Structure 1
Amino acid sequence: EGNERTIDELFDERIGQANHTQLAQFALSSVAWLPAAFLTLTSVFTAREVDWKCATENGCLDGDSGKLLNICAMDRELWTWVDAKSSIVSEWDLVCAHEYKVQLANSIFFVGFLMGAGILGQIADSKGRIFGLYVSTALASAGAMLGAMAGGYWTYFWCTMLRGFGCGGLGVASYVLCTEVLGIKWRAVLGISTQYFWSGGIALMAPVAYTMPKWRNFSTFCGLSGLAYVALSSKFLWESPRWYLATGKADKAHEVMTHLARGNPKFTGRLPPLKQTRVVKGLNVTAVLPYPVLRQRLVAMAYIFCVTSMVYYGLSLNVDALSGSVYMNTFISGIVEFPSHVFAQIYVDRLGRRMTLLVLMGTAAVGVFSSSMFSGSSQVFVSMIGRFGIAGSFNMIYLYTTELFPTIVRSACLGTCSLAARVGGIIAPGIIL
């Protein structure tokens, strides 16, 4: 019994903090963020604005001024869509009195996201990280593919909620799984690296959507991308040893740790047995309320989560409102996030968590406020400055929040802040650039 070691002691003494086997498992679970980006931001292309034209020559002109009339001021038979199958907007005439339905569908996505984050998060804790990840991905994929077959708006509406429900558990399960195979020294820096896959997914969406102009084809592809990840990773992805140990399966945890140890060229022999750590039951969020400092931190971080989510998804879902091509703007949006994550990784220890977050949020504020003062390519440029700041902020707030609260209430406080972020997501579709 005296030879037993905790998981962190084994990482320090025998396995290493981030050997090549650990990094391979980290990368494999992080790849889930690629389909997550497709499934979360599907509506950027499926609900985009579409060009229209006059049904007859001069049929759309004002008789007095000769100027082109607004489609809402004309009878429906006087105009037609250039490509009625390229968007839900054109297929179901979601304009004028029905324009609100586009934002409504985006908002119901985040209602589903809110529900999924809670329910699927519990499933990942009770049934395993991989089970939670795959169930979440399958549900989100099903929502996207069923939505692609919808015969009308309201069927699509509820399928969008299902897609959001699955996405609510996908990102959290992937993040937890990929960081739990790492030593504590590398967990913060590499945890930020998971977002490179998310940003890469956003950038990759643009050329894929360009080659699939029909919204049903693109939505189907988004669903298939999630199912492909499940099928291709299932033979190679290992369950979290920390989850095994927390659920009393020390032998399974030891088996995974042994696999990880083989990635360390200095490892020889066998690992000592794992020490079964005592599980302390966490308290709910009301436990912090009697303490002024913790209470103030909770309110402040919940507000930051809400605003950050609202701004990030507001910029993401309204990229079609910027001048220029929606495909190019989406591609640039994804690329801009890469240096943001690099900045966070470099300065998270040099400047500290709080100062790095303040710099990034300040940059986001300057970009977003400035975008209302410009038009054309200048507006695109300053909007991307805002995107740079808010992407890094979103990455930082999870890391910062986990370090602000004691272990016994950490999960409850992070869950409350995540709930606030979902509220921000519900509001986000109403933001107009």
Structure 2
Amino acid sequence: MGFADLLEQVGSTGRFQVVHTLLLCLPVLMMASHNLLQNFVAGVPPHFCSAHTNFSASTRMSAAEKLHITVPIDANGSPEKCRRYESPQWHLLANNGSTDPEVWEQAALRGCDDGWTYDERERSSSIISEWHLVCSLRPLKSMGQTVYMGGVLVGAGVFGALADRFGRRVLLTMSYLLMAVSGTCAAFSPSFSLFCLFRFMCGMALSGVVLNSFSLIVEWIPTRVRTVIGTGTGYCYTMGQLILALVAYFIRDWRWLTFAVSLPFYVAFLYSWWLLESSRWLVLKNKPEQAVENLRLVARYNGRQADGEKIDVEMVKSSMKKEMSGCKSSYTTLDLFRTPTMRKMTVCLCAVWFSTSFAYYGLSMDLQKFGVDIYLIQVIFGAADIPAKVIINITMSYCGRRLSQCGGLVLAGITILSNLLVPYDKQMLRTCLAVLGKGCLAASFNCCYLYSGELYPTILRQSGLGWVSMMARLGAMVAPLVLLLGEYVTWLPGLIYGLVPVLSGVAAFLLPETLNIPLPDTIQDVEDRGTGRISKTEKKEAIFLQDNADNLLKQTS
């Protein structure tokens, strides 16, 4: 008898699990809003140098005429973005608006000393127009997203380790509050440096929300429904992308948009006190009394109070005697690398998470390059995740996690590389290939969370997820910086974004399969299954679970 049997006794798929999972998934809807917020708050509006300060405002000229005599035209026939004439070129008006380069080429030019004029018909404001992050300050746009992802990276390491020591629920509650407060502060920041600081804190909070929500979901549900629940959680993130496009469409001011996507976390903070700590974790942390209390509460909520009253401390201790004996008092991140199987597994997962996040945010963080309405492309990119996650759900259930993870990464890489061969003027085909690649990466992300949670043991699950999540955020930090290479070699970012997933897909194939195998609780459990082989008893259990999973899929379809 193990924890899975105790969970069955109190109702493993009852009303508690439904409500508990829904409450944990609701904040996930807004996670995409913060991850992809940069597309809207940092959208670069059309801009050009402002007219000279001593330019007569009383001059009876149209705006087009004023622009014509103060700003030169670039090679594409558009006003220069970062240069203007040193003095108004009145003779251009005498030439009937001629734009012949010979007329103005010899005129003295200088930078935008009097600032910029922005076309804000699309959005009423952005951090670009607020703090003039254009021309020489243009790299600061990418730095803002890199700082945010740096916060996600730090948060993954900090909250992952703390959650294994102090519990999932308390860290989740703290993360909700941190996200709400730091998001509000970012919305009303008076300077770009403070904006980056609070966005860094938002990133830290997001890691705490992701890691602890997933662990609380997985550790309160039985093995047979992990795939379905994991996929459902992924769909919440997908829906969040569509919600972001809708909210951004109606809220065009970047400050109020940032505030709007932070408000729901105040609500999540309030109801998070109702959530229960993982009894599995409590037992392994030598707190069986509290674990029994939580199990009885679950039984009562599921209408199985009589069965819950039969559970006592001795029963819990005897059920998890093996797991408790294999646990030491404390673990560190070094335990992820001490033993051969754990070390190999962690290295491969680092490659998988890094490449998935690297390519995903490389495609998602610069939607303006597709030449399509930004709200429409955000909806298309979000909608692409829906069929992708349906397919990955099916392949994970029938072909296994390893093949699904490998296939998603390799296919994404091939799609991105194929886009390099498409001429730039074929925007429709380029967009379709990008959407397909992004869908594959979203499916890979969906598999990542479930697969990693099944690979790592309970005693190190948060630390393991925190570590690989740090690698993902490192990839997300590097992604916007790679885009800057495109200013020197246009095809280089696409080549890098495509090759990295293909190489990591090979690494994914070295991981052990976890389809319908019970969650490991100790490091020894992981080492025992390191060869990928399972005992006869486990094989029988796996067949039983597979049959149940098949029936469940048939019922849901």
**Aligned positions of 1:133-148 closer than 5 A:** 133-148=172-187
**Which residue of the partner structure matches residue 373 of structure 2?**
325
Question: Which AA in structure 2 matches 1:425?
Answer: A
Distance 2:200 2:193 in 1: 11
Shift of 1:334: 1.8
Shift of 1:149: 1.2
Shift of 1:413: 4.9
The question of whether the paired residues in 1 share the 8 Å contact of 2:11 and 2:298 is answered with no
Distance 1:197 1:110 in 2: 21
**Which residue of the partner structure matches residue 29 of structure 2?**
34
1:391 paired with 2:430, answer no
1:70 paired with 2:118, answer no
The question of whether the paired residues in 2 share the 8 Å contact of 1:36 and 1:198 is answered with yes
**Which residue of the partner structure matches residue 48 of structure 1?**
43
Q: Deviation string for 1:293-317 (max 9, x for gaps)?
A: 6654443332221111111122222
Question: Which AA in structure 2 matches 1:352?
Answer: G
Shift of 1:38: 1.9
**Which residue of the partner structure matches residue 301 of structure 1?**
349
**Which residue of the partner structure matches residue 275 of structure 1?**
316
Shift of 1:333: 1.8
Q: Aligned in 2, Cα 1:425/1:329: closer, same or farther, shift over 3 Å? A: same
**Which residue of the partner structure matches residue 189 of structure 1?**
228
Aligned residues: 426
Shift of 1:43: 1.7
RMSD: 2.9
The question of whether the paired residues in 2 share the 8 Å contact of 1:285 and 1:409 is answered with no
**Which residue of the partner structure matches residue 10 of structure 1?**
6
Q: Aligned in 2, Cα 1:289/1:173: closer, same or farther, shift over 3 Å? A: closer
**Which residue of the partner structure matches residue 408 of structure 2?**
360
Distance 1:217 1:406 in 2: 42
The question of whether the paired residues in 2 share the 8 Å contact of 1:336 and 1:387 is answered with yes
* Counterpart pick for 2:433 among 382, 397, 410: 382
**Aligned positions of 1:3-402 closer than 5 A:** 6-12=2-8, 14-52=9-47, 56-58=63-65, 59-60=67-68, 62=72, 67-74=77-84, 75-76=111-112, 77=114, 80-83=117-120, 85-231=124-270, 233-234=271-272, 236-262=274-300, 264=302, 268-269=306-307, 270-273=309-312, 274-276=315-317, 277=320, 278=324, 280-281=327-328, 282=331, 284-285=333-334, 288=337, 291=340, 295-372=343-420, 373=422, 374=424, 375-402=426-453
Q: Aligned in 2, Cα 1:334/1:64: closer, same or farther, shift over 3 Å? A: closer
Shift of 1:408: 7.3
Distance 1:64 1:208 in 2: 36
Distance 1:108 1:265 in 2: 48
Distance 1:386 1:27 in 2: 29
Is the partner of 1:302 in helix, strand or coil? helix
Q: Aligned in 2, Cα 1:346/1:17: closer, same or farther, shift over 3 Å? A: farther
**Which residue of the partner structure matches residue 522 of structure 2?**
none
Shift of 1:392: 0.8
Is the partner of 1:305 in helix, strand or coil? helix
TM-score by length of 1: 0.88
Question: Which AA in structure 2 matches 1:257?
Answer: L
* 234-243 or 115-124, which deviates more: 234-243
Q: Aligned in 2, Cα 1:262/1:339: closer, same or farther, shift over 3 Å? A: farther
Q: Which runs of 5+ in 1 are unaligned?
A: none
Distance 1:79 1:309 in 2: 35
Q: Deviation string for 1:41-81 (max 9, x for gaps)?
A: 22221111213368642425537989323202334358511
1:428 paired with 2:474, answer no
Q: Aligned in 2, Cα 1:15/1:343: closer, same or farther, shift over 3 Å? A: farther
Distance 1:283 1:79 in 2: 52
TM-score by length of 2: 0.70
Q: Aligned in 2, Cα 1:101/1:237: closer, same or farther, shift over 3 Å? A: same
Shift of 1:289: 6.1
Distance 1:296 1:94 in 2: 43
The question of whether the paired residues in 2 share the 8 Å contact of 1:206 and 1:327 is answered with yes
Distance 1:377 1:398 in 2: 32
Q: Aligned in 2, Cα 1:162/1:290: closer, same or farther, shift over 3 Å? A: closer
Shift of 1:336: 1.5
Distance 1:145 1:185 in 2: 40
Distance 1:286 1:230 in 2: 32
Shift of 1:165: 1.5
Shift of 1:361: 1.3
Question: Which AA in structure 1 matches 2:119?
Answer: V
Distance 1:7 1:35 in 2: 33
Is the partner of 1:80 in helix, strand or coil? strand
Distance 1:65 1:202 in 2: 37
Q: Aligned in 2, Cα 1:406/1:26: closer, same or farther, shift over 3 Å? A: closer
Q: Aligned in 2, Cα 1:137/1:317: closer, same or farther, shift over 3 Å? A: farther
* 278-287 or 211-220, which deviates more: 278-287
**Aligned positions of 1:414-425 closer than 5 A:** 414-425=465-476
Q: Which runs of 5+ in 2 are unaligned?
A: 51-62, 85-110, 484-493, 495-557
Q: Aligned in 2, Cα 1:272/1:35: closer, same or farther, shift over 3 Å? A: same
Is the partner of 1:387 in helix, strand or coil? helix
Q: Matched residues, percent identical? A: 26
The question of whether the paired residues in 1 share the 8 Å contact of 2:336 and 2:346 is answered with no
Distance 1:201 1:161 in 2: 20
Distance 2:172 2:217 in 1: 11
Distance 2:436 2:35 in 1: 22
Distance 2:342 2:266 in 1: 42
